[in-house]
């Protein structure tokens, strides 16, 4: 059986062969604990610090401002809970948006049980938040703003630098979840002006279960993982050396190849979009037409159900749905709801996301499969 064409790179990415090669020694022979002072700890320790520099180079920061985590979710938890608890004497008000990943939204909701309050700022119909809306949400007791760099479902890129300037003017800590933007667009922390930034390894061709958090020098979130003091005291626990090495290599590759990758991702995305709109009526783009990730295509097929389309193409194309349709209900994603996408369109939304390995032949075959499936479903009524 031939595997389906993979167009769900926003969900996760395959391991790049160069990442696998970099990790291999730490699976096969270099098993030492990087905290050990003897011979077996030397190479693992050096590998961890080299990886830290590789991540820092991609972010444009000092290596000492990066520590490793188990992934984007932990990084978001550490950033938001850590800063909220560290600054609660200054206030208990948080600001985020209605289109954040659950790894941000659920953290904010949890903190509300500890006496914090959150303002969830609405976005426009393209999924973009307005800087003036953030400004209007700021209160004297606001201590933290967390806005994702780019949306995982529709790809819309947020005006992070503008929001960060507002935060800095008011003495508010600024965090951004960059899980989806790393390796696709520029993520220089100084250009963005942020205080904390979350990284997820499995979105940039590194393993699952590894991530990082950038913390600007002078910013001091409260620790929530206590132990022997690894990772400069920020995150206790013996380091996952193999995965850390993989993340470092992935960041090095992203740093060196960003411009080429961006062009390729956009070319594949646009070829897919054009192929669909050329052959099908009633196709709608969700998200910002310009300010979106180069690899992300959220597209709606009017009056169809996303899960039915996925069933039709499941043996040929791997993508994800923007809505779950059951016998008598339609459960839309919170992102599409926040963007006020009409139900007739939202329920038929699919997200396709291209990657470095995507080829033109795969795109053309995917277009053919989706077009045929949509036509069959429309003819069946």
Catalytic residues: 325
Distance CA 105, CA 189 (A): 22
Please state, in angstroms and rounded to a whole number, the distance separating the CA atoms of residues 313 and 88.
50
Under 8 Å between Cβ of 127 and 338:
yes
Q: How many other CB atoms are there within 10 angstroms of residue 228's CB atom?
A: 9
Q: Which residues, 6+ apart, have CB-to-CB distance to 199 below 8 Å? A: 55, 59, 72, 75, 178, 179, 182, 211, 212, 213, 214, 247
Q: How distant is the alpha carbon of residue 296 from its chain centre?
A: 12
Tokens read off for 111 = 């903190």
> Whole-angstrom Cα distance, residue 310 to residue 302?
15
């Amino acid at each position: 059986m031939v595997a389906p064409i993979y167009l769900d790179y926003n969900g996760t990415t395959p391991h790049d062969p160069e990442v696998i090669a970099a990790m291999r020694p730490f699976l096969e022979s270099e098993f030492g604990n990087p905290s050990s002072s003897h011979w077996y700890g030397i190479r693992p320790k050096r590998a961890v610090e080299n990886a830290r520099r590789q991540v820092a180079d991609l972010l444009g920061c000092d290596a000492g401002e990066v520590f490793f985590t188990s992934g984007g979710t932990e990084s978001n938890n550490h950033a938001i809970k850590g800063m909220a608890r560290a600054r609660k004497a200054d206030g208990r008000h948080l600001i985020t948006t209605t289109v954040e990943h659950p790894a941000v939204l659920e953290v904010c909701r949890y903190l509300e049980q500890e006496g914090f309050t959150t303002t969830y700022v609405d976005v426009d119909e393209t999924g973009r938040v307005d800087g003036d809306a953030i400004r209007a949400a700021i209160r004297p007791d606001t201590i933290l703003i967390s806005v994702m760099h780019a949306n995982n479902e529709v790809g819309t890129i947020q005006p992070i630098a503008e929001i960060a300037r507002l935060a800095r003017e008011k003495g508010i800590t600024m965090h951004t979840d960059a899980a989806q933007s790393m390796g696709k667009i520029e993520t220089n922390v100084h250009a963005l002006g942020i205080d904390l930034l979350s990284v997820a390894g499995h979105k940039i061709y590194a393993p699952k279960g590894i991530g990082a958090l950038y913390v600007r020098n002078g910013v001091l979130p409260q620790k929530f993982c206590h132990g022997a003091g690894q990772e400069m005291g920020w995150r206790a626990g013996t380091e996952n050396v193999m995965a850390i090495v993989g993340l470092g290599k992935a960041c090095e590759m992203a740093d060196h190849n960003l411009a080429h990758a961006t062009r390729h991702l956009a070319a594949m995305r646009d070829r897919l979009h054009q192929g669909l709109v050329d052959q099908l009526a009633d196709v709608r783009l969700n998200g910002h037409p310009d300010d979106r990730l180069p690899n992300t295509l959220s597209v709606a097929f009017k009056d169809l159900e996303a899960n039915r389309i996925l069933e039709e193409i499941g043996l040929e194309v791997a993508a994800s749905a923007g809505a779950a349709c059951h016998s008598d209900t339609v459960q839309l994603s919170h992102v599409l709801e926040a963007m006020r996408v009409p139900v007739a369109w939202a329920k038929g939304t699919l997200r396709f996301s291209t990657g470095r390995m995507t080829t033109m032949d795969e795109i053309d075959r995917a277009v053919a499969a989706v077009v045929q499936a949509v036509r069959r479903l429309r003819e069946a009524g």
